[in-house]
Amino acid sequence: MPRGKYAILAKKIRKSFGKLEVLSGVDLRVERGTITALLGPNGAGKTTIVRILSTLLKANSGQASIEGYDVVKDADKVRGMIGLTGQYAAVDEYLTGRENLRMIGQLYHLSREDAAKRAEELLEQFDLVEAADRAAKTYSGGMRRRLDLAASLMARPAIIFLDEPTTGLDPRSRLAMWDIIKDLAKQGSTILLTTQYLEEADLLADRVVVIDGGKVIAEGTADELKARVGKERIELTFATDKDLQKAAELVKAKLIQTDEERRTMSVAHDGGVRGLRKLLETLSDGKVHVEGLSLHKPTLDDVFLKLTGHQATVKTGEGEKE
Amino acid sequence: MKTKLYWAFADAKVLIWRSTMHILKNYDQLLSAAFMPIMFYLLFRYVFGGAIETGGPAYANFLMAGILVQTAAFGSTYTAIEVTTDLQRGIIDRFRSMPMFSTAVLVGHTTADLARNTISSFIVVLVGLATGFRPTASVVDWILVFGVLMLFTYALSWLMAIIGLLAKSIEAVQWLTFVLIFPLTFASSAFAPTDTMPGVLRAFAENQPVNQVIETIRALLIGTPIGNHGWLAVIWSLGILIVSIPLAGYLFRKHSSR
């Protein structure tokens, strides 16, 4: 019984482990039938949010609901609507792919026949038919991840949580996983996925929620986020400190960051040739000698740098932020 | 609409099947469960046995009860290993995120353990019969032997489930179970009569629960005096079950909602 347009709602979620505050008041809204990406570095609290929403963990305060059902009070109702694929593929090592799926189906209280039928569908869909009779411990990382995802889809959940679905996968398996996720969205599922990769969020998500240090620090479409960093980033290298300082002065408006040690600076760039030429003209008019130049697509680091002033890969505690 | 209880049993049945498949598909574990007790039996029967004075029965007859209980005790430790492994691999998180009776995972492991231990016990008895074990037990006695043994194994498996839930790693499981099982099985009349042991140890050995089970089974197998051992064995086993099942259930649920 859908209520309103949001399938997932979280308000002011706080969670601490001992003295360590992992979530400090997270709000989250996921519209039904859309993909939302929780983007953030390791330790940002992404997995903790997913664990709270999927009833595995209790928040210290705040409220979360799935389709209007409270994740604590109506945990069983919630469990009947969600599918969870964790960071570590939770499949049974000794059982075959087919046995794994049938078992999960029966535990979702499908009839034996329905479980068997659904297992075959998913084996087919996830390209696991050939491996279906092999023990899961013989599977590659990508196959395991697909089996894990298939298991969470046995009961056709309306809402799917994917916790870092492609972390640790080789590029080919990652592409395959992306296709699967896009298909799920097309079939109308509501998906909340966590990721460390801006590229992944960009490609899959309708909406991106950036989280850092247990807080939502930005949200919007991937394009909106990237617009804040610029389409591309130009990295300039200088021969002398004086050149670096002068250049930083000249392009102040678009400057993202300077690195005095390496005598480099990053400048936001719209991707066009004209902008590049204009930048170089500005610098040569100012008599600055540029030693090297390279172009970069914006990364999560850039978004983070822009939004928080620190690198995504660097873990910072509360209060250290600017 | 089927009841909650119906589904709890249905879930337990599926997970007992799962744990049984683990036993059947994990050959190394299966072989170690089969060979360990045989090795111990042969070690004591032929290496130490000649030097041990039982004060009555032939050593092959004296030894069988101890070996059976030791087999059950060592066998029950697999429950702890399975529970810890499940927690580490994340499959318990999957079960918990599903609308099922997830504590059934523990029922699965303890019950499958019971099946494996029963098979191990049969193997040990067969090896014994082939090497001079001559029981005087009647059919009823044999049924009682396996009844007492299974009840005790099941109680130990639940105790082991608690260790599995508390341990942080497989290594921790190994030393914790060792520290628990080793003194309980060896500081008893399993391999030698207790009357040569120093005072305090002797008092412990004669009164601790494992020894009650050993003496009960020995009495049933070869007709040594049973005294109060029978009742005490049953009471201890039931007592352990009554305490450890709810405790394991509590720890299992607590584990999820840290």
Which of A56, A92, A109 is the closest to B97 by Cβ?
A56
CA B93 to chain A, closest CA, distance in angstroms equals 7
The residue of chain A with its CA nearest to that of B87 is A90
State the Cα–Cα distance between residues B64 and A40, nearest whole angstrom.
62
Is the pLDDT score of B82 beyond 90?
yes
Residue where one domain finishes, among candidates A226, A246, A281: A226
> Which residues of B are less than 8 Å from A99 in CB distance?
21
Is the pLDDT score of B68 beyond 50?
yes
Measure Cα distances from B98 to A11, A95, A286, B103 in Å: 23, 19, 65, 12
Q: Flag the least confident range among A265-274, A295-304, B204-213.
A: A295-304
The secondary element (H helix, E strand) that includes residue A139 is: none
Average pLDDT of chain A, as a whole number = 86
pTM of the model: 0.82
**Residue A211, strand partner residues:** A216
pLDDT at A312: 53
Q: Greater confidence, B33 or A124?
A: A124
Side chain identity at residue A273, one-letter code:
V
Given an 8 Å threshold on Cβ–Cβ distance, is B100 in contact with A94? no
Question: Pairing relation of β-strands A190-195 and A20-31?
Answer: unpaired
Q: Does B18 touch chain A (CB under 8 A)?
A: yes
Instruction: Indicate if A148 and A261 belong to the same structural domain.
Output: no
Instruction: Indicate if A215 and A256 belong to the same structural domain.
Output: no
Give me the domain span that covers residue A77. Answer: 6-91+139-226
Reported confidence tier of residue A322, pLDDT bands at 50, 70, 90: very low
Is the pLDDT score of A227 beyond 80?
no
State the Cα–Cα distance between residues B40 and B21, nearest whole angstrom.
27
Given an 8 Å threshold on Cβ–Cβ distance, is B93 in contact with A84? yes
Instruction: Indicate if A148 and A276 belong to the same structural domain.
Output: no
Is the pLDDT score of A320 beyond 50?
no
Mean pLDDT of A110-116: 95
Residue A73 lies in a domain: yes
Q: Does A203 touch chain B (CB under 8 A)?
A: no
Q: Does A93 touch chain B (CB under 8 A)?
A: yes
Given an 8 Å threshold on Cβ–Cβ distance, is A152 in contact with B96? no
Is the pLDDT score of B134 beyond 70?
yes
The residue of chain B with its CA nearest to that of A72 is B257
What is the distance in angstroms between the CA of the first residue and the CA of the last residue of chain A? 44
Instruction: Indicate if A211 and A240 belong to the same structural domain.
Output: no
Q: Does A114 touch chain B (CB under 8 A)?
A: no
pLDDT at A106: 95
State the Cα–Cα distance between residues A54 and A76, nearest whole angstrom.
10
CB B47 within 8 A of CB B131: no
Closest by CA to B37, choosing from B117, B157, B141, is: B117
Q: Greater confidence, A262 or B111?
A: B111
**Chains A & B: contacts with CB separation below 8 Å:** 72
Dihedral pair phi/psi, residue A115, rounded to 5°: -65, -45
Given an 8 Å threshold on Cβ–Cβ distance, is B11 in contact with A107? yes
> Which residues of B are less than 8 Å from A87 in CB distance?
90
Report the share of chain B in percent with pLDDT over 70: 98
Q: What is the ipTM of this complex?
A: 0.87
Reported confidence tier of residue A103, pLDDT bands at 50, 70, 90: very high
CATH of the domain at A163: 3.40.50.300
Given an 8 Å threshold on Cβ–Cβ distance, is A108 in contact with B18? no
Beginning with the edge strand found earlier in the chain, give each strand of the sheet holding A232-238 in spatial order.
Answer: A255-259, A264-269, A232-238, A290-296
- The SS3 of residue A193 is strand
DSSP A96: B
Mutate to test the interface with B, among A52, A96, A108, A109 (most CBs of B within 10 A): A109
Instruction: Indicate if A289 and A219 belong to the same structural domain.
Output: no
pLDDT at B81: 93
Instruction: Indicate if A144 and A240 belong to the same structural domain.
Output: no
Is the pLDDT score of B14 beyond 90?
yes
Instruction: Indicate if A156 and A289 belong to the same structural domain.
Output: no
Reported confidence tier of residue A62, pLDDT bands at 50, 70, 90: very high
Mean pLDDT of A238-246: 89
pLDDT at A301: 67
The residue of chain A with its CA nearest to that of B105 is A107
Given an 8 Å threshold on Cβ–Cβ distance, is B14 in contact with A106? yes
Letter string b/e over residues B225-248, b meaning 16 or more CB atoms within 10 A of that residue's CB: eeeebbebbbebbeebbeebbeeb
CB A66 within 8 A of CB A81: yes
What total number of domains does chain B contain?
1
Residue A207 lies in a domain: yes
Which of A76, A77, A103 is the closest to B14 by Cβ?
A103
pLDDT at A84: 93
Mutate to test the interface with B, among A77, A85, A107, A192 (most CBs of B within 10 A): A107
> Which residues of B are less than 8 Å from A107 in CB distance?
11, 14-15, 95, 98, 100
- Residues whose CB falls within 8 Å of the CB of residue A21, separated by 6 or more in sequence, listed in order: A14, A15, A214, A318
The residue of chain A with its CA nearest to that of B100 is A107
Q: Does B7 touch chain A (CB under 8 A)?
A: yes
> Which residues of B are less than 8 Å from A17 in CB distance?
258
pLDDT at A270: 77
Is the pLDDT score of B200 beyond 50?
yes
What is the distance in angstroms between the CA of the first residue and the CA of the last residue of chain B? 33
Question: Pairing relation of β-strands A159-163 and A6-17?
Answer: unpaired
Residues 25-54 of chain A with CB under 8 A from chain B are 51, 54
Report the share of chain A in percent with pLDDT over 90: 48
In this structure, what token pair is assigned to residue B48? 């130490």
What total number of domains does chain A contain?
2
For residue range A12-54, what is the model confidence (pLDDT) as tens digits? 999 999 889 999 999 999 999 999 999 988 888 999 999 999 9
Report the share of chain B in percent with pLDDT over 90: 50
Mean pLDDT of B136-158: 94
Please state the separation of Cα A169 from the chain's center in Å. Answer: 14
State the Cα–Cα distance between residues A186 and A189, nearest whole angstrom.
7
Provide Rg for chain B, Cα atoms.
19
The secondary element (H helix, E strand) that includes residue B193 is: none
CA A319 to chain B, closest CA, distance in angstroms equals 25
- The SS3 of residue A292 is strand
Residue where one domain finishes, among candidates A167, A196, A226: A226
Instruction: Indicate if A237 and A257 belong to the same structural domain.
Output: yes
Is the pLDDT score of B226 beyond 90?
no
Letter string b/e over residues A62-78, b meaning 16 or more CB atoms within 10 A of that residue's CB: bebbbbebebeebbebb
Instruction: Indicate if A214 and A243 belong to the same structural domain.
Output: no
What is the DSSP secondary-structure string of A209-229? EEEETTEEEEEE-HHHHHHHH
CA A189 to chain B, closest CA, distance in angstroms equals 18
Which of A17, A76, A151 is the closest to B94 by Cβ?
A151
Q: Does B254 touch chain A (CB under 8 A)?
A: no
Is the pLDDT score of A273 beyond 90?
no
Mean pLDDT of A84-88: 82
Average pLDDT of chain B, as a whole number = 89
Given an 8 Å threshold on Cβ–Cβ distance, is B98 in contact with A104? yes
CA A187 to chain B, closest CA, distance in angstroms equals 22
Give me the domain span that covers residue B110. Answer: 4-256
State the Cα–Cα distance between residues A257 and A265, nearest whole angstrom.
6
For residue range A133-165, what is the model confidence (pLDDT) as tens digits? 999 999 998 899 999 999 999 999 999 999 999
